[in-house]
Amino acid sequence: MSPYQLHCSGIDRKALVKYEIIRTNCLFIKTSTRRLADEDDELSEVQPDAVPAEVREWLASTFTRQMATSRRKTDDKPKFRTVAHAIRAGIFVDRMYRRVNTTTLLQFPEDVVKSLKNLDDWSFDIFHLAEATNGQPIKYLAYDLFSRYGLIPKFKIPPATLETFLHRVEEGYCRYRNPYHNNLHAADVTQTTHHMLCQTGLMNWLTDLEIFATILAAIIHDFEHTGTTNNFHVMSGSETALLYNDRAVLENHHISAAFRLLKNEDCNILSRLSREEYREMRSLIIEMVLATDMSSHFQQLKNMRNLLTLNEATVDKPKALSLVLHCCDISHPAKRWNLHHRWTMLLLEEFFRQGDLERELGLPFSPLCDRNNTLVAESQIGFIDFIVDPSMTIMSDMLEHILSKVNVSPGEDPTSDGDPLSAFSKQHSTRRHKILKPWAIWLAENKKIWREQAIKDAAARLSDKIEKIETADSENAEDTGNAAQ
Catalytic annotation, residues: 181
Residue 234 CA: distances (Å) to CA of 57, 88, 231:
17, 50, 5
Give the span between the Cα atoms of 197 and 91, in whole angstroms: 17
Q: Cα–Cα distance between 325 and 317 in angstroms, integer?
A: 12
329 among annotated binding-site residues: yes
222 is in an annotated binding site: yes
126 vs 112, 134, 138, 264, 376, CA distance in Å? 11, 12, 10, 29, 23
184 is in an annotated binding site: yes
Q: Which amino acid, one-letter code, is at 74?
A: T
Distance CA 380, CA 446 (A): 9
Handedness of CA 364, 369, 370, 376 (dihedral sign): positive
Contact assessment for residue 139 and residue 170, using Cβ atoms and an 8 Å cutoff: yes
CA-nearest of 342, 391, 458, 406 to 52 is 458
Measured distance between the N- and C-terminal CA atoms of the chain, rounded to whole angstroms: 83
Distances (CA, A) of 303 to 125, 210, 287, 296, 398: 33, 22, 15, 11, 11
200: Cβ–Cβ under 8 A, 6 or more apart, which residues?
27, 399, 403, 435, 436
Neighbours of 171 (CB within 10 A): 13
Distance in angstroms (rounded) separating the CA atoms of residues 218 and 321: 10
The whole-angstrom separation of Cα 16 and Cα 3 is 7
Which helix (H) or strand (E) segment holds residue 110: the answer is helix 110-116
Decide: helix, strand or coil at residue 426. Answer: helix
Exposure of 292 in the CB half-sphere (CA atoms within 13 A): 33
CA gap 21, 208 in Å, rounded: 21
Annotated binding site for AMP: 181-185, 222, 329, 380
Annotated binding site: 181-185, 221-222, 329, 380
Annotated binding site for Zn(2+): 185, 221-222, 329
